[in-house]
Structure 1
Amino acid sequence: MRIPSTLSRRLIAASAACFLLPLAPSGCAPDAEDQRDGEPLVPPAPVPAGPAARLRLDWDAHDPPHWPAAGVLAEVSGAIYASPDSAADALDDLGFDVVDRFSFESTAGAVLTSGDVTVVAFRGTDDRYDWLVNLDARTVTTSHGDMHRGFDRTYRAVGDDVRRAVRIAEPRHLWITGHSLGGALAVVCALDLLDEGYELDGVVTFGQPMVGRADLAEHLDRELDRKFVRFMNESDLVPRVPPHFTHAGSLVWFTGGAIKRTYPRPFAVGDPYSTRGEPSDAVSEPPPLSDAEFRTLQADLRAADASAEALPDGRVPVGGNSRFVRDHGMDLYLDRVRAEVGK
């Protein structure tokens, strides 16, 4: 089963526009931050109860970032790190009654289903930052552009399992999410499922590194027009690696006590914001680290891991004591989304 085409869904959305509007923190009238050039947005309708219901709502990545789906996907991305029993309880609380896990070496995730809603969730590594310490800028050429070779190879190890689980689920609403390395794999998975003929409700990632060069990013922006959002927390450096790569999608950046955005694609003809100029919350994309900065990050991670004290169970904290990844933990992203976005 395939979900409706983008055109059909936008026609449907036009008749139910209240669902596309931001959810004000009070659930009533929007505050001053939820306005464009002084024009207040129409107050939203009440958000349906239950995570699956929130993932059935249409949304627009260029709207103010109070999307009910963001809260659900942040909870999923956090739960996927837990032990199998704890994760099962958390995902059950979120309403997912079918959990099809996949893993290969340190790569892991799950295809979660609740009725006609399916979420493909990828976990970042739960050990040291070996993947980041060893990360380079080598690419593989795909039919859509140059992709990071390591991310492509890692996804291929679990791709058959993901496609099988999605095919069995026959989703009407299909989302992909992940944190850190899991966010990069979520993007590669999105490309794979798009090539398989699926249309995605959305891709939402947290602390995600870049996946490809500019040509691949342009392809993603065309295919996931206004359906791809990346969250970045304060000075997290992981979204700024590897050097010489380019992000796709729209950035939501928690910075300095505010939320800033990027709008990488021009507003479409007829977009109600197209004649109002740049939105007040717009910001430039943080630039990729230079080669020298990236080497400094990797050296710091090596030193931090070498000096970190082991936890009582013998594990070493992820990233050791590195100052460069102190804003990167999924728990930090989850706290910010709970507080400011996923109402």
Structure 2
Amino acid sequence: MIVKKTLGIRAIYEFGGHHLLWLTAWMVLVTALYHFTHWKWITIPWLPLSIIGIAVAFYVGFKNSQAYDRLWEGRKIWGAIINNSRMLGTMVKHFAAGETISAGQLDQLKKKMVYRHIAYVYTLREQLLMPAPWEHVSLHWLWGSYNRRRQHRLLDLAYQEELAEVAARQYLEQEERNAYDGMANRATQLIDRQTADLLSLYNSGCMNMMQHIEMQRVLNSFYEEQGKAERIKRFPFPRQYGSFSFLFVCIFVFLLPFGLVAEFSKLGGNGVWLCIPFGVITGWVYVLMEMIGDYTENPFEGLYNDVPMLSICRTIEIDLLQMIGEGNVPVPIQAKNGFLM
């Protein structure tokens, strides 16, 4: 997630500045061809070109709106996970010893449930970061390689210390970790184990039926929010919208210099060369609008526009550890170079 109020020139160039190169080359080619050959027939009237531009802008705007909805829904899902995690922590903290369980045994079980939930949120994050075929990090050739390098710089290099600290904190016992080996969805199994421990607490008299029902409702809410996140992850933004939006922008940018060169040639003299800067700027705006929506539609792929899952998981970890009185509590995740993951 980008946390800077404004993006610097370097950040803008890294995101879409390379498109200025081929846009400039295309505008120069058409303008030079018109200027030196005087081929009037290669020009097109500005009116139909402007109609195409308006149509493309509406279409790209619709795509960006829907892509933002996917990003914002992903953030709301993790916001709900934070709130429900706090409810789970405070409920577990205030269980009282029952008839068949001592205070010491209860404290161990409380700690085990809190630890397991911390392991759950980190496991869910790892599962959501697994690349899907339609995401940028899964693309082939140069573009996919470029995005994989960007992901590596963010996840493996910038947050190397934080991820190493997460790996070092073993919140699950070795026996329990081994039990999840080979499971298709480890996060789901962790909540299932929480339910089993909850039933054990109920049978031990540590809670009444109403408390048990409410506690189970909180656990079930994690299944609900996890399912919502998996729906976004596993169901792509409809490719007919994404693909045709890209195609329409390409058509408009291709036609753009043929319309601009005719308009600027009316200025006389060397006025025709103004087609180059204005064409590059106009084309770049459309290309960036397309790219913004394209990168926003996947909020769980480990790139700059992601929901900051690592930071959210750390927030949950800190809250729950402090609830049960742990002294060794990690520090919050800080933004690196204006990005928070």
For the aligned pair, the TM-score class normalised by the smaller chain equals under 0.3
Structure ranking higher in helix proportion: 2
User: Highest CA radius of gyration, 1 or 2?
Assistant: 2
- Relative to the length of structure 2, the TM-score reads 0.24
Which structure has more relative contact order (CA 8 Å, sep 6+)? It is 2
**Which has the larger strand fraction?**
1
- Alignment TM-score, normalising by the size of structure 1: 0.24
